[in-house]
Amino acid sequence: MKLLLNINQVDHELEIAPGDSLLKALRSLGYFGVKHGCETGDCGACTVLLDGKPVNTCNLLAAQAESHRIETIEAVGQHPEQGWKTTAGLHPLQLAFVESGAIQCGYCTPAQILAAKELLYRNPAPTEAEVREALSGVLCRCTGYLKPVQAVLRAAAVLRGEAPEGITEQEWPFLPEEPGKGGPEIPFSPTPYLNPSEPQTLSRVMPRIQVTPRAMSWSSVGKPEPKVDAIKLVQGKPAYTADFERRGLLVAKVLHSPLAHARIKHIDASRARELPGVAAVLTWQDIPRVVYSTAGQSDPIPGPLDAFSLDNKVRFVGDRVAFVAAETEEIADQALKLIDVEYEPLPILLDPAEAMQPGAPRLHDEPEYVNFAESDPARNLAAHIRIDIGDVEKGFAEADYIFEHEYEVPKVQQAHIEPHVVITYWDEDDRLVIRTSTQVPFHVRRILAPVLGLPIKRIRVIKPRIGGGFGGKQEVLVEDVAAHLTIATGRPVIIEYSREEEFTAARSRHPMRVRMKTGVKKDGTLTANAMYALADTGAYGCHALTVTGNTGHKAMALYIGDGPYRKAPNIRFYADVVYTNHPPAGAYRGYGVPQGYWPVERHMEKIARQLNLDPLEFRLKNALRAGELHPFSTAWSEGREPRPETVETCGLEECVRQGKAVIGWDQKFGNPVWRESTGSSHLRHGIGVAMVMQGTAIPYLDMGGASIKMNDDGSFNLLVGATDLGTGSDTVLGQMAAEVLGVPLEDILVYSSDTDFTPFDKGAYASSTTYISGNAVARAAQLVADRIRWRAARMLNKLAPAGVAQLGPDDLRLANRQATAPDGRSVSLSEIGHHALHHADQEQIMGVASYMSPVSPPPFAAQFAEVTVDIETGQVRVDKLVMAVDSGVIVNPITASGQIEGGMTQALGYAVCEEMRYDEAGHAREVDLRDYHIFQAHEMPELETIFVETFEPSHPFGVKAVAEIPMDGVAPAVGNAILDACGAQVDDNPVTPEKIWRALKG
Ligand code: FES
Ligand code: FES
C-alpha cells in the first residue's frame, strides 16, 4: 500500500505492506536514530514524537501515523560546524547528554532525548521525580539513569535561562591523599530523600574522588572529558551495525528447536525453498560439519569444542535447526513454517546434579567433540576444577568453629538493548565482510575461518558502535548464520535477533549451587575456607571452565586469614560445570565473580553475626593486603600455566573508611532506633556491606595493539583493535594518547575496530581495555612523541642563531600542542606534522605497539546498601547504594562513575528481581522485557560512587579495572541489609518479597 508520512516536516511517500510497523517504515527511509530493541513495546528504544507526544513505533502500524506529525532525533539538532556552513547547533538536551556523560552505548539516547524534549515542552521546571517518570518508558541497561536524569535537569536549567550546575575541576569533590594516611574522611550527610515517593538520586555529575598526588598534574588523564563518540550518538547518526543500507540485502531467520533434547530424524526444506522470495534454506545436511566453540576467547579456546553451525541433534529449546534467507522478513518467517522436521525426542536433563550422575543420558556423543583439560562429555561435564591451596583439612582441624552452608544464584540475562545483529557480504575482492555488533572482532575472524571454509585473510570483520554487550557479545553467536547464507546465495544478508530470541537462544549468566565451609578461630581469624560450586552451563560449554574458575579465583582470593594463615592460607575451590538441556550460559559482566560473592559475603555476614564480631573489622582482619601473594596466582590461570603474582596496591581499607562515612554506617548499624525510624510500625530499615575484588585482564595471554600516526595539522589518528561497547574505552584510550603527546583529546581521532585496518586486540572482556590496550596506546604514543621531539629539536636548532646551545630531543617537552625547550623556544605540532610530511627528510611519523601483561592487578571495593523492608508483606525497597572503589587511577571520572552506576544497577536486578526460569520441558518462562524486569528510571535507589585512587605500578598511568567490579557486591550487600532490617535469612537470590515473607514466617 502507498502511504504519506510527514517526518520532521518533510512529506515522504512510500510503499509498505499493510502490517508494517512505523519503526520499519522510518528505518527504511534512513531514519536510523529510531532503534529496534524489542517487538512488544517494552524497551522504548523506538520512541519518536507523534504530534509532539512520545510513542513506541515498533508496535504502531505505519498506516496509523499518516496525517500525523512525526519527529525523530534527526531533527532535534546538528553539529554546529559543517565546513563553510554553520547550523543552529545541538539542542540543549543533546549538549547536556554529551557533557553529563549520560551516554554510554548510546542506543537508548535518541529515545531518552525525545521523551525529555516532550517533558520540557510541557513542564519547563520539572522535579527530579518528574524527569524520572518521563524517562521511565525508555529502558537503559548501561547508565543506571543517574546521568541521563542529571542531563535533563541540566538542559531544563539552560532552557530556562539559568546557569546549570558546572562540571569543572574546581567543583570536583577532590580529596587529596595524605601520604600514608589516606584522605580526610568524607563527612556523612543524612540522605535528603526520606520520602519514598521523592527522587532517589543526588543531582551530581561527578563522583567523589580521592586522587593520588601523581595524577593531579596531568592535563588529559584524570579529566572528565566528554566521550569521543557522544556527538554522533546524540544526533542518532547511523553508527550501529544495522544502520546500514546495501542493495539486495536478504533477511535471515533461524528455525529454533521446540524441544529441549532430540535427534533430527528427518528434515525436509523443499517446501520452504519453493516459496517465492526465498533465496536459501540451509539444514545440517547442506553445510560442512566443523566442530568449534562459540566462546570469543584467545587461542587455544580454554574449553571444549562442542558446537556446530547446524547439527542433527538439538540440545535446548531454542537450539538451531535451519537457516533461511529471504527477500523480506515476512517471507523468511513464512519459510520457517514450511520446513518439515521429524524429531526423535530424547530424555531431558535440567538438573546439573542429576545430569552428572553415572548413567545419565549424554548430551554430547558426537565423535568430533574436542576435549579441553578436564571436560568429560561421558559424564556431561564441560569442566571440572579442583584447586587446593595450603592444607585445608589441617586448617579446619585448627578452627574453633566450622560454618557450613549452601547458597544458590540464578540464571540471568545480559539484556543489552541492541540485540545481536550481523550483516555479511562479499566485497569487490571476493572477501567476506562481517559487520557485527561484537566485543571480539579478531576472535570472530579466527574462530569462523574454519567454520566457513575460508582462510583468515579472506575475512574482514568490522565492528561499528555497539548497543551494549556486557559479555553477551563475547560470543560468536550469529555471525556464522549470516555468513553461511551469504556464501550460499552470494548476496548480502542481515540477521537481527528478536527479543524473544535473546531470551531463548542467546547466552546468560551461569546459575550455580554453592556450598561454603569455613573454619574460624574465636578471635575471628579464618583458618580455612572452602567452596564447592555446581554450575549449569546448559547445552554447550562456552566459557564453562573460565567463568566458573573465576568464581573461585576472584571471590575465594579475598579472605586469606590472619596471623600465620595470612602467610600460608588454606583455600579450596572445587567446581563441576555440567551440561544440561537449558540454553547455554556464557560470559556476562563479572564473569563468574558475582556468583562467588553472593555465597562468600552472605557467609561472612553469618559468621560475623554468630561470633558477635564487627562485620567490617572481621572482613578487613582476614582480607588480602598490598604486598601479599594473590593466593590463586600459583594455583590456576584460566586453564593456562599459573605464575606467582604479588598484589601491589590495595585501597580496600580506605574504601571501607570512606564508604561507611558516606552511608552513615556508624550512625545506623546496630542502632534499633534507626532500624525502626520509618514512621510505620511494619517497616524496618537495614544496612549491609560486602567487600569484593576483581581482576584486570588475563595475564600472559591477552594482548592489545595500537597504532598512532601524525597528520599535517598536528592531529593524530589512533587506531585500536580494542572494542568500545559503550564503556567509553575509545575516550580513555584517546586521553592517554593525548596526555603523552601533549594535545587536547579533540586532536586524537580514535578509530576502533576493523580487522583490516586496526592492530590486533583480544577484545572487550576481563576488564582489560584501559589496562592492556591503554598500555599499548601509551607505548605507541611514546614512540610518536620521541620522533616528534627529535624532529622538533632539528627544526629549532636550524633556526637558532649561532652560539646558542644545540637542543637534543630529551630537552623538549610536549604540551599545549607545542614542543617547548627549557629556554622557551617552541615549535607547534602542526608545524612539525607539516614539516615531516612535506618539507624536509619527509617521513610519516607513526608508532605501533602492543602489550601483554604478566600480571592482573585486582581492583577492590566496599559495597554498602540500605534497604527498607515491610515485615508484613516481605516487600523490600533498596534506598541507597554506595560503592567505594579502588580501581587505581581514574582516567575519566565521568565515564568511570557511569560504569559503577550502571554496574550497580544491573547487579541490583541480580539482587532483587532478575531470574530466567524454565518449565519441566525446558521452555523459558521469561521471553520479553515485561516478564523479565530490568530497573526503570523511576524505580532506582540513590546511587553514590567514591573512587579511592591507588597507583598501580605496572601501568604508565597507574590504572586498574573498573567495569566489572560493580557487579559483585550489590546482591550480598542487599541480602545482608535485609537480614539486618528484619532477620530474614534468604540464601538464594534474587531476594523476592515472597522469599522474605516465607523466611519471616519461619
Ligand atoms: S523497540 Fe519499540 S519498545 Fe522496544
Ligand atoms: S546507554 Fe542506555 S542502553 Fe546503553
Taking CA atoms, 211 is separated from 172, 647, 885, in Å, by 11, 20, 12
CA distance 491 to 487: 8
What is the distance in angstroms between the CA of the first residue and the CA of the last residue of the chain?
63
Residue 143, ligand 2, Cβ within 6 A = yes
Q: Which amino acid belongs to residue 288?
A: P
The three-class DSSP label of residue 448 is: helix
Helices 593-610/544-555 angle, 10° precision:
30
Pocket of ligand 2 contains residue 446 by CB under 6 Å: no
Distance 215 CA to ligand 2 centre (A): 30
* ∠ Cα 171 175 178 (to 5°): 155
Q: By percentage, how much of the chain surpasses pLDDT 70?
A: 95
Between CA 896 and CA 905, with CA 902 as vertex, the angle to 5 degrees is 145
Q: Which ligand is nearest to the CA of 928?
A: 1
Q: Scan for cell 585445608, then name that residue.
A: 392
In the prediction, which pLDDT does 643 show? 84
Mean pLDDT of 810-834: 97
Query: Nearest ligand, CA of residue 465?
Result: 2
**Which atom of ligand 1 has the smallest separation from the CA of 47?**
2
**Cα R_g (the chain), whole angstroms:** 28
Residue 355's φ and ψ, nearest 5 degrees, are -65, -25
pLDDT tens track for 912-939: 999 999 999 999 999 999 999 999 999 9
Ligand 2: distance of its center to the CA of 142 in Å?
A: 5
> Which residue type does 496 have?
E
Indicate if the pLDDT at residue 786 is higher than 90: yes
Residue 450 CB-density burial (10 A; 0-12 exposed, 13-18 middle, 19+ buried): middle
Question: Is it the case that residue 766 has pLDDT exceeding 90?
Answer: no
What the block records as the C-alpha cell of 857 is: 592487578
Ligand nearest to the CA of 502: 1
Band the pLDDT of 167: cuts 50, 70, 90: low
> Cα 661 to the chain's mean position, in Å?
29
Instruction: Supply the pLDDT for residue 166.
Output: 59
Q: How far does residue 46's CA lie from ligand 1's centre (Å)?
A: 5
Answer whether the bond into residue 753 is a cis peptide, omega within 30°. yes
- Counting from 1 in the atom list of ligand 2, the atom nearest the Cα of 468 is 4
- Counting from 1 in the atom list of ligand 2, the atom nearest the Cα of 141 is 3
Place 699 in a pLDDT band, splitting at 50, 70 and 90.
confident
Cβ–ligand 2 contact at 468 (below 6 Å): yes
CA of 234 to the centre of ligand 2 (A): 12
Residue type at position 31 = Y
| Lowest-confidence segment of 284-298, 629-643, 699-713 by average pLDDT | 629-643
Q: How far is the CA of 112 from the centre of ligand 1 (A)?
A: 13
Rounded distance between C-alpha atoms, residue 647 and residue 660, angstroms: 24
Q: Which residues contact 119 (CB under 8 A, 6 or more apart)?
A: 126, 130, 131, 134, 152
Mean pLDDT, residues 944-966 taken together: 93
pLDDT at 171: 36
Between the alpha carbon of residue 182 and those of residues 176, 690, 949, the distances in Å are 8, 21, 10
Task: Report the nearest-CA residue for atom 3 of ligand 1.
Answer: 41
Residue 175 — very low, low, confident or very high, per pLDDT cuts 50/70/90? Answer: very low
- pLDDT score at 374: 77
Ligand nearest the Cα atom of residue 415: 2
Q: Helix, strand, or coil here: 668?
A: helix
pLDDT confidence of residue 105: 97
Which bound ligand lies closest to the C-alpha atom of 54?
1
Residue type present at position 277 = G
| Cα separation, 297 vs 99, whole angstroms | 35
Cα-to-centroid distance, 856 and ligand 1 (Å): 40
> Counting ligands in written order, which one lies closest to the CA of residue 23?
1
Determine the atom of ligand 2 nearest the C-alpha atom of 418.
Answer: 3
User: What single letter denotes the amino acid at residue 888?
Assistant: G
With the most atoms of ligand 1 within 8 angstroms of its CB, the residue from 32, 46, 136 to mutate is 46
Nearest protein CA to atom 4 of ligand 2, as residue: 105
What is the spatial distance between Cα 210 and Cα 890, in angstroms, rounded to a whole number?
Answer: 10
* Predicted local distance difference test score (pLDDT) of residue 684: 97
Question: pLDDT digits over 202-211, tens only?
Answer: 444 567 777 7
Residue of 31, 43, 138, 499 best suited for mutating to test ligand 1, as the one with most atoms within 8 Å of CB: 43
| Digit-coded pLDDT (tens) for 639-664 | 678 888 999 999 999 999 999 999 99
Contact assessment for residue 263 and residue 311, using Cβ atoms and an 8 Å cutoff: no
Q: Which DSSP state fits 587?
A: -
Please give the full DSSP string across 845-897, using - where no structure is assigned.
-EEEEEEE-S--PPPEEEEEEEEEEETTT--EEEEEEEEEEE-BS-S-HHHHH
Does the pLDDT of residue 197 top 80, yes or no? Answer: no
Testing ligand 2's pocket by substitution, the residue of 43, 109, 135 carrying the most ligand atoms inside 8 A of its CB is 109
Cβ atoms of residues 439 and 764 within 8 Å: yes
Interval between CA 55 and ligand 1 midpoint (Å): 10
Ligand 1 pocket, residues with Cβ under 6 angstroms: 36-38, 41-46, 56, 58
244 burial level (CB within 10 Å; 0-12, 13-18, 19+): middle
To test the pocket of ligand 1, the residue of 22, 38, 928 to mutate (highest count of ligand atoms within 8 Å of its CB) is: 38
Residue pair 80/14 in contact by the 8 Å Cβ criterion: no
Q: Structure pTM? A: 0.94
**Could you tell me which residues are beta bridge partners of residue 326?**
251, 278
d(CA 714, CA 550): 44
* Residue nearest atom 2 of ligand 2, based on CA coordinates: 140
Q: What's the rounded Cα separation, in Å, for the pair 147 and 573?
A: 40
Structure-block grid coordinates of residue 618: 572481621
915: Cα separation from own chain's centroid: 18
Contact 773, 718 (CB under 8 A): no
ω into residue 410 within 30 of 0, thus cis? Answer: no
pLDDT at 986: 97
Question: For residue 40, how far is its CA from the centre of ligand 1 (angstroms)?
Answer: 6
- Ligand 1: nearest atom to the Cα of 499: 4
Please give the number of the atom of ligand 1 that sits closest to the Cα of 38.
4
Asked if residue 416 has its Cβ within 6 Å of ligand 2, the reply is: no
Q: Which comes out higher in pLDDT, residue 303 or 755?
A: 755
Q: How far is the CA of 754 from the centre of ligand 2 (A)?
A: 23
pLDDT, one tens digit per residue, over 879-912 is 999 999 999 999 999 999 999 999 999 999 999 9
134: phi then psi, degrees, rounded to nearest 5: -65, -35
Mean predicted lDDT score pLDDT of the chain: 93
135 lines ligand 2 (CB under 6 A): no
Question: Which ligand has the minimum distance to the alpha carbon of residue 936?
Answer: 2
Task: Check: CB of residue 4 under 8 Å from CB of residue 13.
Answer: yes
Probe residue for ligand 2, chosen from 36, 38, 47, 108 as the CB with the greatest number of ligand atoms within 8 Å: 108
Q: Is the pLDDT of residue 10 over 80?
A: yes
Burial of 56 (0-12, 13-18, 19+ CB in 10 A): buried
| Contact 728 CB / ligand 2 (< 6 Å) | no
How far, in Å, is the centroid of ligand 2 from the Cα of 41?
A: 17
Nearest CA to ligand 2 atom 3: 140
- Give residue 206's pLDDT: 61
